[in-house]
Amino acid sequence: MSDAPPPIAATKLMKKLMAEHFLGLDRAAREGSPKVAWCTSVGPAELLHALGFLVYYPENHGALLGATRMASETIPVANAAGYSPDICSYLTADVGAFLKGVTPLTKAYGIKGVPRPDVLVFNTNQCRDVQDWFQWYGRHFGAPVIGVRTQRGVGPVLDSMVADVSRQIQYLVPALEQISGNKFDIDRLRETVGLSKQCTVMWRRVLEYGAKHPAQLSFFDHTIHMAPAVVLRGLPEAVTYYDTLLAELVERDKEGLAAVPGERFRLYWDGMPVWGRLRMLGDLMASLHTAIVASTYCNSWIFDAFDPADPFISMARAYLDLFIVRDEAFKERYILDHVALYGCHGVVFHDAKTCPNNSNNRYAMPQRLQDLHGVPTLVINGDLNDLRCFSDEQARTNLEAFVEQIEELAA
């Protein structure tokens, strides 16, 4: 087997930016200034930044708990406190960690705990769990929990929906002004929306390196390099990072570096990552000379609609356009388009036990892709964070057998 490609040098910059992000939040929470807002992954981060908040994303913390496998120790604590093992394991891992008094931020950055929120701002466009999750902390810290309730299962994104979500975002302004102590300035919002737009354009270009033959980056690389798009969206740091990364990718492309040396097959991944098993799955796919070149999950931080000229409306449209908000027909078309665009031989659906919202196999989509469109599909059972729901051996056999099947069909 040929050697793995050299590591990506830009990762160093990412580590530095992430450290600054978390240390800044920790300092702000301890000093009481600037104010700290907790935000869901597709909450109105642009507005929060425009009002001078530092923004903390509990879902990112949930993923860190998963990736460090601390989640296995913390989920049961939340289960015992009444949060079912069947609900979001970001929520249970995170609340359990808080109850247990642990965080991966301690080992990574020497930080004792997550930053105390001054306000928690959700958007239910992805699921209801985020609201329940934030309410737990709201009760604990006595902090206000406010947010946006977005339509789900959306077909065409109608102007009426956009107007509704846009109005809901605007209604947050007075409360956020009061908590932050800062006056809302539309020009400042235009700036943060503009930065989010730049970030999103650049993140899309990074992902498109997966479309090269052989793919230059795989899903497993994407899950690492997406961090700035997730937690620094709306800030100049994210743009700086993707500038640096893209410059490096141009050079790597000239050298013809492949994410999976000897790439033979290409797959699309739908559903959440299995955070605690990324290494195992990455190594397995590499041994099968198969690259996972694109994913619904990593594409979820592409927000094409952002437009600084019309910040509220474009934020609303960007949040509504997302895959997770849409109906089954949209999702099916979306996956088919990406399978074609990225030249995939098949689709792996991860059925995450605790996240129905990101498990798109549950309404017979794999069967439709296979029977109506001739796209081979595989469903693997697992979870984003709860490794009690994941079997290495089952996943290995399933993925190996799927690649064998693709190979047989190709022959």
* Interface positions with ligand SF4 (CB under 6 A): 59, 88, 90, 126-127, 129-130, 272, 355, 357-358, 384
Rounded CA separation 187/125 (Å): 26
| Interface ranges with another protein (CB under 8 A) | 370, 376-377, 379, 381, 389-391, 393-394, 397-398, 400-401, 404-405, 408-409
Query: How many alpha carbons fall within 13 Å on the CB side of residue 264?
Result: 14
Closest alpha carbon to 319 in 47, 52, 53, 87:
47
342 binds, among another protein, ligand SF4, none (CB under 5 to 8 A by kind): none
Rounded CA separation 188/239 (Å): 17
Strand partners, 350: 380
Rounded CA separation 185/89 (Å): 37
Nearer to ligand SF4, 38 or 402 (CB): 38
391 binds, among ligand SF4, another protein, none (CB under 5 to 8 A by kind): another protein
Rounded CA separation 13/241 (Å): 7
Nearer to another protein, 131 or 370 (CB): 370
**84: number of Cβ within 10 Å:** 11
Q: How far is the CB of 373 from ligand SF4 (least distance, A)?
A: 26
Nearer to ligand SF4, 125 or 200 (CB): 125
404 binds, among another protein, ligand SF4, none (CB under 5 to 8 A by kind): another protein
Nearer to ligand SF4, 127 or 258 (CB): 127
CB 67 within 8 A of CB 282: no
408 binds, among ligand SF4, another protein, none (CB under 5 to 8 A by kind): another protein
Nearer to ligand SF4, 170 or 299 (CB): 299
Q: How far is the CB of 323 from ligand SF4 (least distance, A)?
A: 11
Q: What SS3 state is found at 42? A: coil
Nearer to another protein, 187 or 408 (CB): 408
Q: How far is the CB of 391 from another protein (least distance, A)?
A: 5
Q: How far is the CB of 406 from another protein (least distance, A)?
A: 10
Tokens of 146: 């406010």
Rounded CA separation 170/50 (Å): 13
Q: How far is the CB of 369 from another protein (least distance, A)?
A: 11
Q: In Å, how far are 44, 227, 271, 325, 338 from 335, measured between CA atoms?
A: 26, 23, 11, 14, 5
